[in-house]
Amino acid sequence: MDKLNQIKYIADQLIGQGNMNIVDAAFSQKYIAHAGEKTHNGHKFIKQFTKQLRTAIPDIKIVKIEILCQTDNVLTWQRTLSGTHKADLKGIPASDKSVKWYEIVVSRFDQDLIIEEWVSSDLAFQLMLKQK
């Protein structure tokens, strides 16, 4: 499977379907995620974050995945997501409103496993806008 289809499959299984079994199959045990000034490690982080996201936005959908740049072991991509904010997320109260947001992700692979990612998301900003 090429990297684009691999990313689409992983995103659908993890975010779209909530299939946590994909974590062991798709991510290295040495996984590192960089988001702003924070760095997170391991499978436990992926599973906790996904659970929080799917709890807060239970009808989450991946609207679009678009590849921006690709090398042998790095894929830079943008995903568009949408859903309804039904529960608190990281201190942001539920608005019960629809939200659409964008994320830029740089995924580095070691063989067929994702070992490191850099993520920039405007989800928190979009959720804050819905608080009115």
Sequence-distant (≥ 6) Cβ neighbours of residue 83 within 8 angstroms: 57, 58, 59, 60, 61, 98, 99
Sequence-distant (≥ 6) Cβ neighbours of residue 15 within 8 angstroms: 50, 53, 54, 60, 62, 81
* Widest Cα–Cα separation across the chain: 46
Return the DSSP state at 16: I
Confidence of residue 131 (pLDDT cuts 50, 70, 90): confident
pTM for the predicted model, two decimal places: 0.92
Q: Which amino acid is at 95?
A: S
Confidence of residue 7 (pLDDT cuts 50, 70, 90): very high
What percentage of the chain exceeds 90 in pLDDT? 92
- CATH code 3.40.50.300 for 3-129: no
Domain boundaries defined on the chain: 3-129
* Number of CB atoms found within 10 A of residue 132's CB: 6
pLDDT of residue 37: 92
Confidence of residue 85 (pLDDT cuts 50, 70, 90): very high
pLDDT of residue 127: 94
**Pick from 7, 10, 98, 86: nearest CA to 53:** 86
The per-residue pLDDT for range 8-54, each reduced to its tens digit, is 999 999 999 999 999 999 999 999 999 989 999 999 999 999 999 99
